[in-house]
Amino acid sequence: MQRLIITAPRQAEFEAVTLPLCPPDGILVRARVTAISTGTELRVYRLIPVDPEGRFLHANIPMSVPTENGYSMVGDVVAVGAAVTNLAVGDRVFVPAPHRTVAAVPARLAIKLPDDLPDEQAVFLSILEVSHLSLRKGSPAPGETLAVIGQGIIGLAALAYGVAYGFRTIAIDVDERRLEIARQMGADLVLNLAVPDFHAQINAFCDGHGVDLVIEAASVWPAIQTSMEIAAQRGRVVVVARHTDQPTFSPVGDPFLQKEIALLVSYGHPPDGQRWDRRRSFNLTIELLRKGRLTIAPLITHQFAWHELPQVYQRLDQGERDLVGIVLDWRDQS
């Protein structure tokens, strides 16, 4: 079997390895498709740490190579541990696994999929949930305005939830190709940050009030500054993207302090047993997809064979911004 590894900055390759053992409380899953979380995976491809000292590749995970990449797989269960009672060989599941032929995963992390949910949509469940969490963290009320800055895969997913839940939505980016996807997904206002009357258009759309909730998904500090500029008095800004750059403004200086903005971050589901824990939140997303209320087809822009992944990383690294939602097909490894 094959697995994708990062061996050095901007060096990705496939490695032949033996099949993993099935843990007693886990399952083995043979991949049908995997998806690329472009922001996270590109950072790992470049081996950019999450901390200033360069010690960690992910939160609490030390920097080391080789390392696998990715966290989104749909596949078929091919083995079940002795302690597992809720899954069986042949079940189709979503699992948070990297790009590889077969993954060993704790059974508690597997999501059994309904027959009417296509692989190509189900594989984005974890990526969608990143955005779902950010929207829930912002606690928007009925009738409020939601702006999403950055129309990459996470930003477009946040927009999709905003449309599904009926909020007045603004999609903001500097790339017209991504803004066109936002239009297809039903954004009420699609706005290029570079237009001269950017703030005037925001003001008019919000009837002079400002944006109630801004989700920042662009991964750069200038986007946080823009978020705080367009937020309403006592509005909320939720940062969903990880930042490795440094700010050039003070978020507690003039004019932001007197706006009393709530600056929030979103990271991970609450503990099991809480109202919107991982299982309940995933199930809600699946329900919205099955009912056609959560529209994500426009953000799925490309599909490649699994072995093309190193070249896809190269294209992302070179700045090909038309690559947004990317599915890798593992069904033919002959």
Q: Looking at the structure, tell me whether residues 171 and 138 fall in a common domain.
A: yes
Please check whether residue 152 is in contact with residue 131, taking contact to mean a CB–CB distance below 8 angstroms: no
Q: Looking at the structure, tell me whether residues 137 and 258 fall in a common domain.
A: yes
Q: Looking at the structure, tell me whether residues 28 and 107 fall in a common domain.
A: yes
Q: Looking at the structure, tell me whether residues 214 and 235 fall in a common domain.
A: yes
For 57-99, write each residue's pLDDT tens digit.
998 899 999 999 999 999 999 999 999 999 999 999 999 999 9
Q: Looking at the structure, tell me whether residues 95 and 200 fall in a common domain.
A: no
Q: Looking at the structure, tell me whether residues 214 and 233 fall in a common domain.
A: yes
State the CATH number of the domain containing residue 136.
3.40.50.720
Please check whether residue 290 is in contact with residue 117, taking contact to mean a CB–CB distance below 8 angstroms: yes
In-domain check, residue 209: yes
**Poorest-pLDDT segment among 185-189, 240-244, 256-260:** 240-244
329: pLDDT strictly greater than 90:
yes
147: pLDDT strictly greater than 90:
yes
Q: Looking at the structure, tell me whether residues 132 and 229 fall in a common domain.
A: yes
In-domain check, residue 285: no
> Which of 245, 265, 285 is at the close of a domain?
265
In-domain check, residue 280: no
CA 269 to chain centre: 13
333: pLDDT strictly greater than 80:
no
State the CATH number of the domain containing residue 70.
3.90.180.10
> Which of 221, 246, 265 is at the close of a domain?
265
334: pLDDT strictly greater than 60:
no
Q: Looking at the structure, tell me whether residues 10 and 112 fall in a common domain.
A: yes
Alpha-carbon span 57 to 65, nearest angstrom: 10
Instruction: Give the pLDDT confidence score for residue 167 in this predicted structure.
Output: 98
In-domain check, residue 276: no
- How much of the chain exceeds pLDDT 70, in percent? 100
In-domain check, residue 7: yes
Q: Looking at the structure, tell me whether residues 120 and 163 fall in a common domain.
A: no
Q: How many domains does the chain have?
A: 2
Q: Which domain holds residue 186?
A: 128-265
Q: Looking at the structure, tell me whether residues 251 and 136 fall in a common domain.
A: yes
In-domain check, residue 60: yes
In-domain check, residue 271: no
Whole-prediction pTM:
0.95
In-domain check, residue 215: yes
Instruction: Give the pLDDT confidence score for residue 57 in this predicted structure.
Output: 93
Find the mean pLDDT for residues 121-147.
97
For 10-47, write each residue's pLDDT tens digit.
999 999 999 999 999 999 999 999 999 999 999 999 99
DSSP 243-300: --S--SS-TTSTTTGGGT-EEEE--SPPPTTSTT-HHHHHHHHHHHHHTT-S--GGGE
Q: Looking at the structure, tell me whether residues 93 and 165 fall in a common domain.
A: no
Alpha-carbon span 131 to 217, nearest angstrom: 9
